Structure 1
Amino acid sequence: MRNTAKITTLESKFPLMAMEDGFLISKEADITACFKVTLPEIFTAASDEYIIIHSAWQKAVMTLPEYCIVHKQDWFISEKYKPEMDKEDASFLHRSYQQHFNERPFLNHHCYLFITQSSKERMRRQSNFSSLCKGVLIPKEKMNRESAYRFAEAVAQFERIMNDSGFVMLTRMNEEEVLGTEDKKGLLSEYLTLSTVNTGTLEDLCLGAEEMRIGNKRLCLHTLSDTDDLPSKVGPASVYDKLSTDRSDCMLSFASPVGLLLSCDHMYNQYLFIDNSEENLRKFERSAKNMHSLSRYSRANQINKEWIERYLNEAHSFSLTSIRAHFNVMAWSDEPAELKQIKNDVGSALALMECKPRHNTVDTATLYWAGIPGNAGDFPSEESFYTFIEPALCFFTAETNYQDSPSPFGIKMSDRLTGKPVHLDISDLPMKRGIITNRNKFILGPSGSGKSFLTNHMVRQYWEQGTHVLLVDTGNSYQGLCELIKGKTKGKDGIYFTYTEENPIAFNPFYTDDRVFDIEKKESIKTLILTLWKRDDEPPTRAEEVALSNAVNLYIEFLKKDTSHQPCFNGFYQFVSEEYSKILEEKRVREKDFDLANFLNVLEPYYKGGEYDYLLNSDKQLDLLSKRFIVFEIDAIKDHRILFPVVTIIIMEVFINKMRRLKGIRKMILIEEAWKAIAREGMAEYLKYLVKTVRKFFGEMVIVTQEVDDIIHSPIVKESIINNSDCKILLDQRKYMNRFDEIQSMLGLTDKQRGEILSINQNNDPRRLYKEVWIGLGGTHSAVYATEVGLECYLAYTTEEAEKHEVMQLASELGGDVEGAIKRIAAEKKSSG
Structure 2
Amino acid sequence: MIKSAEIYSFHASLSGGMFITKGGAITQCFKMENPPPYLLDENRLILRQCEIERALRFMPENSYYHKQDVYLKRYYKPGQHFKGETFLERAEMEHLNNRLYLEHTCFICFTLNGLESLTAAYEKNPLSYSNSLVGRDKNRLAEFLDAVEGVVTVLRNLYSTSIIELTEEEVKKHITDYVNGFPGDNGLYDVYCGEHLSIGEARGAFFALCDEYSLPNSIPSIVEDNSLPQANASLHIAPFEVFGLNLRANHVFNQIIYFSGHQKMKDSLQNSIDEHKRNRYWAKEIEFKAKQLEELQQEIIFSDAFLCKAHFSLQVWDKELEVLEKAKDRIRELFKLQSISYYQPSYEGLENIFIGSVIGRENKLAASYFFPIELGTAVCLGVNNSTYKDDEDGLLFNDRLFQIPIRVDLWDEKKVRIPARNSLKIASTGAGKSVGGLSDVAQELQQGYRNVVVEFGRVFYILTKLYPEKTLHIDYDGNSPLGINPFLLKEGLTPDKISMLTAFVLKLWRSKEIIEDTKQYISVTKIIQDYYESSPQAPSFPDFYSYVKDNYREIITRREIEDDPDYFNLKSFIHICSVYMPGGIYENVCKVNSNEDLVTGKDLIVFELTKIKKDPFLVTILLTIIYDVVENKILSDRSIRGKLYLDEYAETATIKDNFSGEDVHSTVAFFYQKLRKENGAICAIIQSPAQLPAGHFTDGIIANTQLLMVHPTTETVYNDIVTKFQITNKAHIELMKSIRNDFSCEKPYSEMFIRFQDHYAVVVRLELSKPRFLAFQSDGKIWKYLTDYQDVTGYTMERAIEDYLKSNNNQL
Output the TM-score relative to the length of structure 2.
Answer: 0.90
- Residue 814 of structure 1 and its aligned partner are, at CA, apart by 3.3
Q: Distance in 2 between matches of 1:633 and 1:202?
A: 64
In 2, the alpha carbon distance for the partners of 1:200 and 1:589 equals: 89
Which moved further from structure 2: 103-112 or 701-710?
Answer: 701-710
Cα pair 1:243 1:763 within 8 Å, conserved: no
Q: Does 1:394 align with 2:372?
A: no
* 1:349-404 deviations in Å (ceiling 9; x for gaps): 22233312432224222211111111111111111111110111111111122111
- 1:616-627 correspondence to structure 2 within 5 Å: 616-620=590-594, 622=596, 624=599, 626-627=601-602
Q: Is the 8 A contact 1:521 1:657 kept in 2?
A: no
Aligned 8 A contact 1:322 1:387 in 2: yes
Which amino acid letter does the alignment assign opposite residue 165 of structure 1?
Answer: L
- Pick the aligned partner of 2:625 from 650, 654, 662: 650
How is 1:214-613 mapped onto 2 (pairs within 5 angstroms)? Answer: 214-241=199-226, 243=228, 247-362=232-347, 363-405=349-391, 407=392, 409-428=393-412, 432-433=415-416, 435-486=417-468, 489=469, 493-500=470-477, 503=480, 505-511=482-488, 514=490, 516-539=492-515, 544-559=520-535, 565-580=537-552, 583=555, 590=563, 592=565, 593-613=567-587
* Alignment-derived partner of residue 803 in structure 1: 782
Letter in 1 for 2:309: R
Q: Distance in 2 between matches of 1:710 and 1:815?
A: 41
Which structure 1 residue ranges, 5 or more long, are not aligned? 1-6, 123-139, 180-185
Root-mean-square deviation (CA, aligned residues, Å) is: 2.9
Matched residue, 2:703: 723
- 1:144 paired to 2:137: yes
TM superposition shift of 1:190: 1.7
What letter corresponds to residue 821 of structure 1 in structure 2?
A
Q: Does 1:178 align with 2:171?
A: yes
CA contact (8 A) 1:76 1:110 kept: yes
Distance in 1 (alpha carbons) for counterparts of 2:225 and 2:10: 41
The answer for the alignment partner of 1:191 in structure 2 is: 178
> Are the structure 2 counterparts of residues 154 and 547 from structure 1 closer, same or farther at C-alpha, using a change threshold of 3 Å?
closer
Distance 2:743 2:515 in 1: 56
| Local SS of the residue matching 1:255 | helix
Structure 2: which amino acid aligns with 1:649?
T
- Which position in structure 2 is the counterpart of 1:689? 670
Equivalent in the alignment of 2:152: 159
Write the distance in 2 (CA, Å) between the matches of 1:443 and 1:284: 59
Distance in 1 (alpha carbons) for counterparts of 2:777 and 2:520: 49
Aligned 8 A contact 1:224 1:358 in 2:
yes
Residue type at the aligned position of 1:755: E
Report deviation, 1:537: 4.6
> Match for 1:432: what amino acid?
K
Verify: 1:776 aligned to 2:761, yes or no. Answer: no
User: Which amino acid counterpart does residue 56 of structure 1 have in structure 2?
Assistant: E
Deviations 1:619-652 (A, max 9, x none): 1152657532111222221221442232111012
| Whole-angstrom distance in 2 between the partners of 1:328 and 1:542 | 78
| 1:501 to partner: Cα distance | 6.9
Q: CA deviation at 1:762?
A: 7.1
Distance 1:276 1:747 in 2: 51
User: 1:16·1:375 contact (CA, 8 Å) conserved in 2?
Assistant: no
* Shift in Å, 1:544: 4.2
Distance between the aligned counterparts of 2:268 and 2:742, measured in 1?
Answer: 50
Change (3 A) 1:59 1:12: same
Match for residue 759 of structure 1 among 715, 735, 738: 738
What code does the residue aligned with 2:608 have? Answer: E
Deviations 1:759-815 (A, max 9, x none): 111778811111111111121311211111212222122223222111111121332
- Cα distance in 1 for residues equivalent to 2:458 and 2:246: 41
2:726 is equivalent to residue 745 of structure 1: no
Instruction: State the shift of 1:295 in Å.
Output: 3.2
1:126 match: none
Q: Distance in 2 between matches of 1:86 and 1:57?
A: 36
- SS at 1:241's partner residue? coil
Change (3 A) 1:559 1:14: same
Q: Distance in 2 between matches of 1:85 and 1:148?
A: 44
**Cα drift, residue 456 of structure 1:** 1.0
C-alpha spacing 1:785/1:527, structure 2 compared with 1 (3 Å): same
Partner in structure 2 of residue 4 of structure 1: none
CA shift for structure 1 position 8: 6.0
CA shift in 2, pair 1:717/1:814, >3 Å? farther
How far is the alpha carbon of 1:828 from its aligned partner?
4.0
The count of corresponding residues between Structure 1 and Structure 2 is: 785
Alignment of 1:668-683 (within 5 A): 668-674=643-649, 677=652, 680-681=655-656, 682-683=662-663
Partner amino acid, structure 1, of 2:15: D
Letter in 1 for 2:153: R
Equivalent-residue separation in structure 2 for 1:697 and 1:196 (angstroms): 52
Distance in 2, Cα, partners of 1:648 & 1:738: 31
Q: Which amino acid aligns with 2:148?
A: V
Q: CA deviation at 1:450?
A: 0.8
Residue of structure 2 equivalent to 1:96: 91
For the structure 1 residues 529 and 692, does the alpha-carbon distance in structure 2 shift closer, same or farther, using more than 3 Å as the test?
closer
Please state how far the C-alpha of 1:162 moved relative to its aligned partner.
Answer: 1.7
Residues 796, 822 of structure 1: 8 Å contact kept? yes
State the secondary structure of the residue aligned to 1:460: helix
Query: What is the percent sequence identity of the aligned residues?
Result: 20
Which ranges of structure 2 fall in alignment gaps of 5 or more residues?
118-132, 657-661
Letter matched to residue 599 of structure 1: F
Flag the 1:748–1:584 CA change in 2: closer, same or farther, 3 A.
closer
Bigger shift: 186-195 or 297-306? 297-306
| 1:64 corresponding residue in structure 2 | 59
The letter for the 2-side match of 1:345 is R
1:815 aligns with 2:794: yes
Distance change (3 Å), C-alpha of 1:638 and 1:535: farther
Shift in alpha-carbon separation, 1:631–1:517, aligned structure 2, 3 A: farther
Quick one: which amino acid aligns to residue 714 of structure 1? Answer: A
CA distance in 2, matches of 1:354, 1:762: 33
For 1:3, the equivalent position in structure 2 comes to: none
Alignment correspondent of 1:135: none
| Amino acid in structure 1 at the alignment position of 2:26 | I
Matching residue's letter, 2:35:
P
How many Å separate the matches in 1 of 2:231 and 2:445? 41
Q: 1:453 to 1:276 in 2, by over 3 A?
A: same
- Superposed CA offset, 1:154-197 (max 9, x none): 11111112222334332111112112xxxxxx212221222273
8 Å Cα contact 1:351/1:357 also seen in 2: no
State the shift of 1:588 in Å.
9.9
Q: Which amino acid aligns with 1:347?
A: R
Following TM superposition, by how much is the alpha carbon of 1:482 offset from its aligned partner in structure 2, in angstroms? 1.9
| Range that drifts further, 545-554 or 110-119 | 545-554
